[in-house]
């Protein structure tokens, strides 16, 4: 029912490789929105973690400091199968505990900095993320082995795409992880928005609404690429502030909600056409209390560098704004697979959502709540 095979902006390279062969092959450093002041009611921890889920770190910190889970917060979730750094805050006005560098013997978690600040760290409180990625066993998808492929020719094709990506950016697709395994989040979103199920868990409701909103955005973006409009402005384009623009890098697509589409003429016609088959989702999101908003269709890339390593592995690094996905960069020059893993995110420990479930049976979740989830 759901189409997740969205078109690419750049020529197909037929390259394939392995992502996250080991955690060190995928490193993510959070770029904070602010620097803690050094005093205040909230403890701030800059943490480095390896093969640990962000939710689980928050759970461990709540137990360590003896506070409720909703008193521990972070700006965004980071990959488990990776080496990542990020900030956490703990509301602890009367608690003065200096953690040791490695406070959890059974987990690969390191405290890099401990300080204080006057405000809670909230979802979306980050500028973006820096990525340092190693792709291994690169070869042509048409070759049975690396030896059978012309690796130098393949490198040249990849290089062409990398140069174009560095200059022009990539489609600002939402990553597949947003839609759940096998599109499960979309199935739940459709059932919820058409009244077939009632979701009382506020965080799950937010997740499903975000998935539906993201899917419509991706569909509109995909249509522009299919029509040869990548990197080109379209009559009726507007920027995130809903102002007319003829700058292709500032063009946007809808994040669906209440109110009319602000786009005009050709852009409006395209967006209306792509949303027609998804009216159940659109109508449901309007009634859920989300406001009509916009998101850039181009993801600009900062400080992009790459180098070829031994064994024809590729090391690439770049920075992306908050809410933009590294997978959107990778898919424009290579198809990647990851090693098979047992997807027990908490290594046998019970899954616990960050934050408490909504006690009220709320029928709406406002745009601010969704935006914080979408800016992770």
* Distance of alpha carbon 159 from alpha carbon 136, whole angstroms: 16
In a domain, residue 325? The reply is no
Domain assignment present for residue 63? The answer is yes
Question: Does the pLDDT of residue 150 top 90, yes or no?
Answer: no
Q: How many domains does the chain have?
A: 2
In a domain, 53, yes or no: yes
In whole angstroms, give the CA distance from residue 317 to residue 336: 16
Q: Are 203 and 355 in contact (CB under 8 A)?
A: yes
| Domain contains 179 | yes
Question: Which single residue is written with the structure tokens 């898919």?
Answer: 331
For residue 272, what is the domain's CATH number? 3.30.2340.10
Looking at the structure, do residues 365 and 229 belong to the same domain, yes or no? yes
Q: What is the pLDDT of residues 49-102, one digit of tens each?
A: 999 999 999 999 999 999 999 999 999 999 999 999 999 999 999 998 899 999
Domain of residue 68, CATH code: 3.30.2350.20
- State whether 89 and 184 are in the same domain: no
Together in a domain, 70 and 177: no
Do 176 and 281 lie in one domain? The reply is yes
Region of 190 please: left (phi>0), alpha (psi -120 to 50) or beta.
alpha
320 confidence band (pLDDT: 50, 70, 90): very high
Instruction: Domain of residue 215: give its range.
Output: 170-299+360-374
pLDDT of res. 353 = 29
- Coil/strand/helix, residue 197: coil
Same structural domain for residues 220 and 112?
no
Residue 108, in any domain of the structure: yes
Instruction: Tell me which residues are annotated as active site.
Output: 79
Residue 278 and residue 195 share a domain: yes
Question: Residue 33: how many CB atoms within 10 A of its CB?
Answer: 15
Last residue of a domain, one of 60, 95, 123: 123
The count of C-alpha atoms lying within 13 angstroms of the C-alpha of 96, restricted to the half-sphere facing its C-beta, is 3
Residue 240: inside a domain: yes
pLDDT digits 0-9 by tens, 198-220: 998 988 999 999 999 999 999 99
Q: Alpha-carbon distance 313 to 135, whole Å?
A: 6
């Amino acid at each position: 029912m759901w189409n997740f095979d969205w078109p690419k902006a750049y020529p197909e390279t037929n390259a394939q490789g392995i992502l996250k062969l080991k955690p060190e092959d995928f490193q993510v450093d959070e770029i904070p929105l602010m620097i803690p002041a050094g005093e205040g009611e909230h403890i701030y921890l800059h943490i480095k973690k390896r093969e640990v889920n962000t939710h689980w770190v928050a759970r461990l910190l709540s137990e360590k400091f003896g506070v409720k889970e909703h008193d521990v917060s972070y700006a965004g979730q980071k990959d488990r199968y990776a080496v990542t750094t990020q900030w956490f805050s703990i509301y602890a006005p009367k608690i003065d505990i200096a953690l040791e560098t490695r406070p959890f013997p059974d987990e690969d978690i390191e405290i890099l900095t401990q300080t204080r600040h006057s405000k809670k760290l909230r979802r979306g409180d980050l500028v973006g993320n820096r990525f340092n990625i190693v792709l291994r066993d690169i070869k042509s998808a048409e070759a049975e082995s690396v030896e059978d492929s012309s690796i130098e020719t393949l490198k040249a094709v990849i290089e062409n795409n990398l140069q174009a990506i560095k200059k022009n950016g990539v489609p600002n697709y939402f990553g597949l992880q947003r839609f759940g395994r096998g599109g499960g989040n979309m199935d739940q979103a459709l059932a919820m928005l058409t009244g077939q199920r009632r979701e009382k868990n506020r965080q799950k409701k937010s997740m499903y609404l975000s998935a539906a909103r993201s899917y419509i955005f991706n569909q509109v973006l995909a249509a522009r690429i299919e029509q040869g409009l990548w990197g080109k402005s379209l009559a009726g384009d507007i920027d995130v502030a809903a102002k007319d623009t003829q700058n292709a890098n500032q063009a946007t697509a809808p994040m669906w909600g209440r109110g009319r589409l602000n786009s005009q003429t050709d852009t409006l016609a395209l967006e209306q056409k792509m949303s027609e088959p998804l009216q159940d989702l659109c109508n449901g999101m309007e009634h859920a209390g989300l406001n009509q908003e916009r998101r850039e269709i181009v993801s600009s890339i900062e400080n992009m560098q790459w180098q070829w390593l031994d064994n024809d592995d590729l090391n690439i690094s770049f920075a992306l704004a908050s809410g933009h996905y590294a997978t959107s960069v990778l898919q424009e020059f290579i198809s990647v697979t990851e090693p098979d893993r047992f997807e027990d995110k908490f290594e046998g420990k019970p899954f616990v959502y960050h934050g408490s479930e909504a006690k009220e049976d709320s029928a709406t979740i406002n745009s601010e709540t969704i935006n914080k989830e979408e800016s992770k």
